[in-house]
Amino acid sequence: MIILLNKSKRRGSHQMNIDVALKSQKAASKTKAVRKKYQYVAFLYIAPWLIGLFVFQLYPFIASFIYSFTDFTMLKKPSFVGLKNYIDLFTKDQLFLQSLKITFIYVIIAVPLKLAFALFIAMILNIKLRFVNFFRTVYYMPSILGGSVAVAVLWRFLFMREGLVNKVTSIFHIPAVDWLGNPKIALYTISLLTVWQFGSSMVLFLAGLKNIPSELYEAARVDGASKPRMFVTITLPLLTPIVFFNLIMQMVHAFQEFTGAFVVTNGGPAKATYLYGLMLYQNGFQFFKMGYASAQSWILFAIIMLMTMLVFKSSEYWTFYEDGGDF
């Protein structure tokens, strides 16, 4: 517009000046209107997602924060109790620390195992094989089914005393183990269920492996490097950004784990798999202590936040980016 105005100024005609200015204004407002219309359509397109975000995430998110300061029981009107829920959790509730401890153990076992297993399978599937795409699909399957109750039920049947696992080991005369009934073992069995859902991490590792330039391996081979050596000095460092990403995602997920422990052992035996999520559920839906459960969920949120920040901070020392990794 300024250019137009300048132009008309040079021509020296005042009237024209106004005309052009008006015209350009009109044109501008027209494009504005069009843009507005497009924006409106765009919003319409993303509306389902936006509504989902507001109704199913943002609203419960805020509501639970407010409820965490009340004695909300779902059926009665909540009344404000200040920090009582938080204080009770830390000072009175023995199960709180117990379930936190179990959850940390679970995260420490399940996440590294899952990542290692995902990487292992990704390495295998990275080998040029016939039907490799078929295998990649097959190996991804457990992840699609993974979170479902059906798989957890299957797990129960596999690992119960009369289950398939004990049947197979009995062939080798190994005595039957109570994989889920023994308080000392049950948590590991539940962790295995998580490890089995390695698919999404595996796909990311696979993509990462494909991105590593083959020249590096060729050069290493020329220099006479062994396979393990190549893995340690080429593959692993170049995969660290993906390890980092997977670590964060899986850790966040593992802290919130619920389905497996709920369906397979329901927190038992003798509270051995009483994960934090289960305690939260029990308080909220079995004992009607929604306010208390909300406080619990915010503590979990803070813990996950803190752990994620720690991993982020530590990543400076162990992730490696070819381009320097400024992010």
* Site residues (vs another protein, CB under 8 A): 41, 44-45, 47-48, 51, 55, 71, 73-76, 92, 94, 156, 160-162, 178, 180-183, 265-266, 268-271, 282, 285-288
- Closer of 59 and 321 to another protein (Cβ): 59
Alpha carbon distance 70, 292 (integer Å)? 8
Here the tokens at position 32 are: 């504005």
- Closer of 176 and 305 to another protein (Cβ): 176
Task: Return the exposure string of 103-112: e unless at least 16 CB atoms fall within 10 Å of the residue's CB, then b.
Answer: beebbebbbe
CB of 301 to another protein, least distance (A): 22
CB of 293 to another protein, least distance (A): 12
CB of 256 to another protein, least distance (A): 19
CB of 68 to another protein, least distance (A): 17
- Is there a contact between 233 and 225 (Cβ–Cβ < 8 Å)? yes
CB of 93 to another protein, least distance (A): 9
- Closer of 50 and 207 to another protein (Cβ): 50
- Closer of 163 and 237 to another protein (Cβ): 163
CB of 145 to another protein, least distance (A): 21
- Closer of 92 and 128 to another protein (Cβ): 92
CB of 21 to another protein, least distance (A): 32
Please count the CA atoms within 13 angstroms of the CA of 39 that sit on its side-chain side: 6
- Closer of 55 and 232 to another protein (Cβ): 55
CB of 299 to another protein, least distance (A): 19
- Closer of 52 and 325 to another protein (Cβ): 52
- Closer of 246 and 265 to another protein (Cβ): 265
